[in-house]
Every structure is written in C-alpha cells, then in structure tokens.
Chains A and B, each alone.
Chain A
C-alpha cells in the first residue's frame, strides 16, 4: 500500500481535514521536536513550539507552494518559532557555545580519552558547539537536508551553507582536540 504523500495531506488539511492533520503530525512531529529542542534546550518549550508549528500548518496549508518539501517547510517554521522564543528569553542567544559541558578540568586530555569512549566524547563535543553550528550539523546529518534545503531553512546562500558546515566541523575537531582526541584534521 502506498502511503499518502505529505503534499496530498497538506491539500486535505487545506480543505479542513483534521484526520490529515493527525497523520501529518504523527509523521513529522518527533523530528521537528528534536530539531527545535536542540535549538531551545527546553523540553516543555519545545513541546509548545511544535504545537505552534503544526497550528501554522493548519492555518497556512492553502498557501503551501511546493517550492520545498513538506519536511523542509516544517523545519523552517520550527526554526523561526524557536528563534522567536529564544529572543523573548533574556540571556539566551544562538551564539552561545556550551564549552563548559565538554571541559573536564580534573583530567588531563590523555586520561580523559582513556576514561571515556570515543563516541561519547564526540557526542559531548557535538553538544558543545554553538547553536548555529549544531543547527547546520543536525540539518545535514540527522534531518538529511540537501545544500539547497538547508539554505532555504536557514535563509543563507548555498555556498554559505557549505562554508558554515565546513567551519562547524572544523570547530568540532578543535573541541575534540581540547578533549584529548586529535583527529589529525584540519
């Protein structure tokens, strides 16, 4: 059996079909939630925001122009909501790098590597990136968005997407090196 396409569901939602809304929510809400959660780092806020994201879909379904996939559209709305929510919270910005989360001043780097498994360090360093770098790495690796789709979601040119991804990875290598894991790159 062929599943109804996202685009067909959007058409039904535009006609007021609540069941189609349920289906689209079931299909995408976990990924949108995780994307938003990685930006706002607050589970309760992320839950509120995904409800807002899908309410926007309900209201604007008739205006969906198919210039991007539905998944990309949802992530773009989610990003906009997350950034708006962060702006309302004083003291939280997108540029913060969570370096405190990866530093372990009690151990020298070599001991740290022995104590911790490599993938755990890698995950910690991924978490320690700035929100801007986390965002692009998540979009490319986890949400499987192409260069053009990332450009559409983040609102930057395609070449800047590639450059930003390169520097996010470079920064990750620096954090790994600081944590005792020298990858020999860059």
Chain B
C-alpha cells in the first residue's frame, strides 16, 4: 500500500517512545527541543499521552490470571525433573555397564561369565522350589506384603487419547485424587481418592461424577 511506504516525520515517529520514557537520552533531547519550538508537534504529543494513559488503563482492566497456570507449570516442571533424574540414573548405570568389559581382562571376563551362569541356574532352581513349595502352596514375598496399598479409596480410570497433561492434572485435582499405579494393560491407571477411606456409596458417587467427564475419561470404576 502506498500509504505504508511513506515514512512519518522522524521526530513525530518518536513521540510514542518519548511519552513512554524509552528513548535514548540523545533522542529524548532531540524530541524535547522539537516540542519546544513546534506548537503543532506539542499538540500531537498531547494526543500521544492520552493514548498512552488509556492503553495502560485498558491493560490494567484485564485483571490477572487465576492460580491455575502456576499450578500447571509447577506440575509439569516436577514431572520433567523426575523424568530427568530417572534418565540420569539409567544413563549412569548404562555407562558403567558399557565401560565394564573394557576394565576387565579377557580371562576375568570369561570366569565372570561362567560364575554368572552358575548363579542363574542355582537361583532358578531355588525360586522354582519356593514357588511350588513342598505342599504345593504358592509363596508371597515380604516385599509384596510391604507394598500393600495404604488404606483409602481406589478407582481404575482410563483417559481419552485426546486428554492433555493439563486435563488430567485438573481432573485429579477436582476429585482430590492421585495416580498410584499405571499405566496398566489397556492404558488404565489406578488412582487413590482422598486421604482416608470412603464409604462404598461415597466412592460410587465420586466415580459416577468421574464417568461424566467424558472429555477426559473413557472409563472409571471403583477398585480395591
């Protein structure tokens, strides 16, 4: 467009920045001198100052965001930090294992392989004996006992593929829930609802409300 190609008068073009106080000292002095000798420019400068005042009022009237962006941000940062830590741990072990053969002599390596094979065979036999047992009973390890879930109400949920991390976070916050396990087969997660136990009716009520959030959840059911 022809109009856009014409450059405005250089000093007049600087008036908005002069009003905002963001000109260099040198340019500000040039503008001040021009304003002092040119009344029409001074009148136009008054218009600029009006625009500036109303632009500030307009923006200030926009208010402030809710706490949601900060919560969302920190949740994502925590997630990334945990991921990075896991990655670093795995990488360190990987590097150590990668470098291990280089540190050992061929003879040591050979003996290590034989020793490892013996250990595996013995361990397999031991585990089989434990699992079958003398009377055919199955065996539960102490670790399983310790990992028993803390008391509380649990549900199994599956999220729709389109649900974003923010959607899931909001869903969990809304229902005061946290993911304790998953994803399991089929992409299901086991979630814990609230801090303490809930009556069966109360849990069914909450799960019912979860099922209504079809934009986020494709499946929800009470779980043990």
> A interface vs B, CB < 8 Å?
16, 18, 21-22, 25, 29-30, 33-34, 37-38, 43, 46-48, 50-51, 54-55, 58-59, 119, 122-123, 126-127, 137-138, 140-142, 144-147, 149, 159, 162-163, 165-167, 169, 172-173, 183-185
- Asked if B76 and A48 make an inter-chain contact with CB atoms under 8 angstroms apart, the answer reads no
9 contacts between A and B (CB under 8 A): A29-B69, A30-B65, A34-B59, A55-B76, A123-B58, A126-B51, A142-B56, A144-B21, A184-B43
- Asked if A25 and B70 make an inter-chain contact with CB atoms under 8 angstroms apart, the answer reads yes
B34 at the interface (CB under 8 A from A): no
| Cα–Cα, bound, A29→B73 (Å) | 12
Taking A58-B73, A162-B14 as known contacts, 14 extra A-B pairs with beta carbons closer than 8 A to each other, sorted by chain A number, are A18-B77, A30-B64, A48-B69, A48-B166, A54-B73, A119-B54, A141-B20, A145-B22, A159-B7, A163-B4, A163-B7, A163-B13, A165-B13, A184-B43
User: Interface code B68-80, partner A: CB below 8 Å = 1, 0 otherwise?
Assistant: 1110111011001
B17 at the interface (CB under 8 A from A): yes
Main SS at interface, chain A: helix
| Cα–Cα, bound, A172→B16 (Å) | 14
CB distance from A157 to the nearest CB of B (A): 12
Choice from B4, B19, B23 contacting A167 with Cβ under 8 Å = B4
User: Interface code B1-21, partner A: CB below 8 Å = 1, 0 otherwise?
Assistant: 001100110001110110111
Taking CB as reference atom, which chain A residue is nearest B16? Answer: A140
Taking CB as reference atom, which chain B residue is nearest A147? Answer: B17
| Cα–Cα, bound, A35→B98 (Å) | 50
- Asked if A144 and B16 make an inter-chain contact with CB atoms under 8 angstroms apart, the answer reads no
CB distance from A119 to the nearest CB of B (A): 5
B195 at the interface (CB under 8 A from A): no
B55 at the interface (CB under 8 A from A): yes
Given contacts A29-B65, A141-B16, contact A162 B8 (CB under 8 A): yes
Task: Note all chain B residues with C-beta closer than 8 A to A54.
Answer: 69, 73
Taking CB as reference atom, which chain B residue is nearest A31? Answer: B59
Taking CB as reference atom, which chain A residue is nearest B66? Answer: A47
- Asked if B20 and A47 make an inter-chain contact with CB atoms under 8 angstroms apart, the answer reads no
Given contacts A123-B54, A138-B55, contact A51 B72 (CB under 8 A): yes
CB distance from B30 to the nearest CB of A (A): 14
B42 at the interface (CB under 8 A from A): no
Given contacts A29-B65, A33-B64, contact A38 B21 (CB under 8 A): no
B221 at the interface (CB under 8 A from A): no
- Asked if B65 and A46 make an inter-chain contact with CB atoms under 8 angstroms apart, the answer reads yes
| Cα–Cα, bound, A22→B52 (Å) | 31
| Cα–Cα, bound, A43→B64 (Å) | 10
Given contacts A47-B66, A51-B69, A185-B44, contact A167 B51 (CB under 8 A): no
Given contacts A29-B65, A38-B62, contact A21 B77 (CB under 8 A): yes
Task: Note all chain A residues with C-beta closer than 8 A to B53.
Answer: 119
Taking CB as reference atom, which chain B residue is nearest A137? Answer: B55
- Asked if B65 and A123 make an inter-chain contact with CB atoms under 8 angstroms apart, the answer reads no
Task: Note all chain A residues with C-beta closer than 8 A to B21.
Answer: 144
- Asked if A55 and B73 make an inter-chain contact with CB atoms under 8 angstroms apart, the answer reads yes
Task: Note all chain B residues with C-beta closer than 8 A to A163.
Answer: 4, 7-8, 13
Given contacts A141-B51, A145-B22, contact A127 B4 (CB under 8 A): no
B81 at the interface (CB under 8 A from A): yes
B137 at the interface (CB under 8 A from A): no
B172 at the interface (CB under 8 A from A): no
- Asked if A25 and B55 make an inter-chain contact with CB atoms under 8 angstroms apart, the answer reads no
- Asked if A141 and B55 make an inter-chain contact with CB atoms under 8 angstroms apart, the answer reads yes
| Cα–Cα, bound, A24→B64 (Å) | 16
| Cα–Cα, bound, A161→B19 (Å) | 16
